[in-house]
Amino acid sequence: MATTTTYTVSGMTCGHCVNAVTSEISELAGVTDVQVDLGSGAVTVTSDAPLDDAAVVAAVDEAGYEVVR
């Protein structure tokens, strides 16, 4: 069953930022879709099983941005 989780990411300012975050999160096992709203910083991740939040945070960090808690 698909699971959707929304994270807030700070520091994204342009399309390149969106692509970097989307690319890193998309590489996580089980991720089927990533939608980024640049204006709000909302990143909605759809996966075929619940994701480890730490893995998503690490992927966003790898892209050079930060998940706001």
Please give the average pLDDT of every successive group of 10 residues along the chain, which has 69 residues.
95 97 97 97 96 96 95
Output the pTM of the full model: 0.94
HSE (side-chain half, CA atoms, 13 Å) at 39:
0
pLDDT for 34: 98
pLDDT for 69: 81
- CATH code given to domain 3-68: 3.30.70.100
* Contact criterion met (CB below 8 Å) for 66 and 11: yes
